[in-house]
Structure 1
Amino acid sequence: MEPTVRDGDYMLVERISVYLRRIKKGDIIIARQYCEHDNCNFVLKRVQAIEGDSVNYISPKLRKPVTTYIPKDHVWIEGDNKEHSLDSRTYGSIPYDELEYRVFLRLWPVTSFGWVDKVFK
């Protein structure tokens, strides 16, 4: 998620938005990538589309433009550093039930303390 979130940043997260299904386009989320024997890996990505949206992107597998539609109870997530991100462009939309947290505040470094911007600049 660089440059928005860098290695070593401390972020404050919450689950209420996930529980109430109030995640919006632009939100930064933490989602379960996969779990094996109660050991889960997580990803930090930005929500680019929600159910009912269509997404145009270059498929890394097909290496050509593709349009896909986001099904009910799914979101489309991408990293801000698109050239070095494994995200929905590779594995498709993810079920809403895989979302764990919404990131909303940077605590560290102190020089970057504040609300996490919704829009990547």
Structure 2
Amino acid sequence: MHVNGYLKRGVNEKGRVANDVETEQIVFADARDGSPMKISSVVQIRDSIPLFWSQEAFPLNKKPDIILSKKDNTFEATRLHFENLVKRYGNPIIILNLIKTHEKKPRETIL
């Protein structure tokens, strides 16, 4: 089976993940009392879950099955991924888990 580029998922041995997208929001606030302008920045990263997994592309299947391709009992690749984030952005790093917790047919919950 061929996996289309847009369905790439997971992490590689070096901790690099698929679909790594960075968005930065910069906000400028004018100070009314003559103080310097205030500038704030928030960076949001959205990327693939740092585990070894994939999805096979099938025509007419909008929700392809999730396939765990390799067990990483020590989570070495996952650790490398988060170490890289700390090097790039520093701390704190806040992680939001967007995996569905209730599904009629378990898919995402295997991750």
- With normalisation by structure 2, the TM-score equals 0.26
Higher-Rg structure is 2
- With normalisation by structure 1, the TM-score equals 0.25
Which one has a larger percent strand, Structure 1 or Structure 2? 1
Q: RCO greater where, 1 or 2, for CA within 8 Å and sep 6 or more?
A: 1
